Amino acid sequence: MGSTEPAEVPHYDRNKELKAFDATKTGVKGVVDSGIEKIPRIFVRTQDEFTEDLSYTVVSGDQFQLPVVDLQDIDCRRKEIIDEIRRATMTWGFFQLVNHGIPISVTNEMIEGTRRFHEGDIEVKKQLYVRDLSTIVHYDSNFDLYQSRSANWKDTFRCRLLNPDPIDPQLIPSTCRDIIVEYWKHIVNLGNTLAELFSEALGLSKDHLKGMDCTKYLTLAAHYAPACPEPELTMGSTKHSDQSFFTILLNDDIPGLQVLHQNHWVNVKPIHGALTINVGDIMQILSNDKYKSSQHRVVANHVGPRISVACFYRASVEKPTLLYPIKELVSESNPAVYKEITFKEFVEYSHSRRPDGVSTLDHFKV
């Protein structure tokens, strides 16, 4: 671990370097474009982070494989598909989805639209660069830049597509506006289908989760991770779970996503055109721990850029949205695992704490 020594040099003023990086408003791509051969110290993981990694092993190959759910002929195969989703969400919290109804031309163009934005006019990006996550459309690098132990090797463009009113498309940059509007239409349809399947897999009516507004608030995050000269020293995205009902993720063909399963980091093999679906923290609360919101991360890579687009179905921070286990899933023999809280309380507590490897969910258990 000798390569992490620069982080302990006495004259290293981390806060000053973070502010200098932030002030460029050009993100990780700006760092790479400057011609660096070694990554700046703000991206080098701390000794604590490397030590925590020793608790897990990384596996690939056939030992563990993420479940794949096929939505082909959903009308005829609905019960079979619901059973597959139930198994996947209760054991992994993740699955890959094929034959989901979004044309390959649309998923390919969504990846290219993300590339166009991140590789486009720097001045356009600078105008959108803010640290305020409540902004409808914004671009940043590391939303938690000043709280994290080490910065992640990625830049992100975000837009709040439903809040619950739809976004004005004119707010979206022209480089990716048309494809985001097109992709959004498909994601809304798929989100409604998944919400029904998740409800039925819990033994509830198909409209139960939609009735709890789980498809009302939708945020798109388009990530761009340039090739990294020292990928072993940093991460594309550190270990986390999502603060969502569920997340729909589109990846390009560069691997990097890892899911924590049975104390192993499992490499997710990209399937071209497939989507990766995962349960978020809110869904784990609502399901009274039946569904699992799994920790996941993205490793940095010598090749790139690696492009991914995450669509998060979340609750509202602005409204006092209450979260608690669904009453139909609670009984004397299966009591509520979580207290009644608001989504705002959940997010504020989550953002207030230093990363320590402990799930935010544990704080809200009864």
Per-residue pLDDT of 270-322, as tens digits, reads 999 999 999 999 999 999 999 999 999 999 999 999 999 999 999 988 888 88
The whole-angstrom separation of Cα 144 and Cα 131 is 9
Q: Which residues pair with 298 in a beta bridge?
A: 237, 257
Q: Residue 19: count other Cβ atoms within 10 Å of its Cβ.
A: 12
pTM above 0.85, yes or no: yes
Helix (H) or strand (E) holding 32: helix 27-33
Residue 320 is predicted with a pLDDT of 85
SS3 content of the chain, % helix, strand, coil (to 5): 35, 20, 40
Bridge partners (DSSP) of residue 306 are 225
In the prediction, which pLDDT does 193 show? Answer: 98
Task: Summarize pLDDT for 166-222 with one digit per residue, the tens.
Answer: 999 999 999 999 999 999 999 999 999 999 999 999 999 999 999 999 999 999 999
Neighbours of 274 (CB within 10 A): 21
How long, in residues, is the chain? 366
Residue 6, pLDDT above cutoff 70: no
The pair of structure tokens assigned to 166 is 């739809």
Element at 341 (helix H, strand E)? strand 341-342
Place of tokens 């739809």: 166
Would you say residue 100 has pLDDT above 80? Answer: yes
Confidence band, pLDDT 50/70/90 cuts, at residue 257? very high
Count of H helices and E strands in the chain? 10, 15
Q: Do residues 261 and 294 make contact, with C-beta atoms less than 8 angstroms apart?
A: yes
Mean pLDDT in residue range 342-365: 83
What phi and psi, each to the nearest 5 degrees, are found at residue 318?
-70, -30
Confidence of residue 356 (pLDDT cuts 50, 70, 90): low
**Amino acid residing at 279:** V
User: DSSP assignment, residue 89?
Assistant: H
Which residue do the tokens 């009644």 mark? 340
Comparing CA positions, the residue from 217, 218, 221 lying closest to residue 141 is 221
Cα 305 → chain centroid: 17
Q: What is the mean pLDDT of residues 117-128?
A: 97
